[in-house]
Amino acid sequence: MYLFQTFFKKRHLKEWVGSVWKCNANIESDAAYYKLFFSSESEVEGWVKYKTDSEETNVFTAVYNKSKNLLEFKKGKEFFVGICHKNKISAMIDGRTLQFFKMV
């Protein structure tokens, strides 16, 4: 049975590759929005669009793991978690809850 669970997990993560999730900024006053881009089955990129900049800024690349509706993001010793529900990720970052909505 373990073999089938691993296959299912990898197949399920493939659905996340290429997906983009955005939320309104509420941590930094000069940020317009935050974005998560799932670049592979194991890596996610964090982006910020600042109000004064014309382009988005890449602020981190982290490893992620999904187990049922729980997402764990890790970069070195830092980590945060998110709960997935349909087309929304509720993530606790820097003591605040951010609501990311699926764009693509």
Q: State whether CATH 2.40.128 applies to domain 2-102.
A: yes
Residues in the chain: 104
**What is the pTM (predicted TM-score) of this model?**
0.83
Pairing between β-strand 96-102 and β-strand 78-85 as defined by DSSP bridges: unpaired
Spans of all domains in the chain = 2-102
104 residues of the chain, pLDDT tens digit each: 444 444 444 455 678 899 999 999 878 889 999 999 999 999 999 999 999 999 999 999 999 999 889 999 999 999 899 999 989 999 988 788 999 999 97
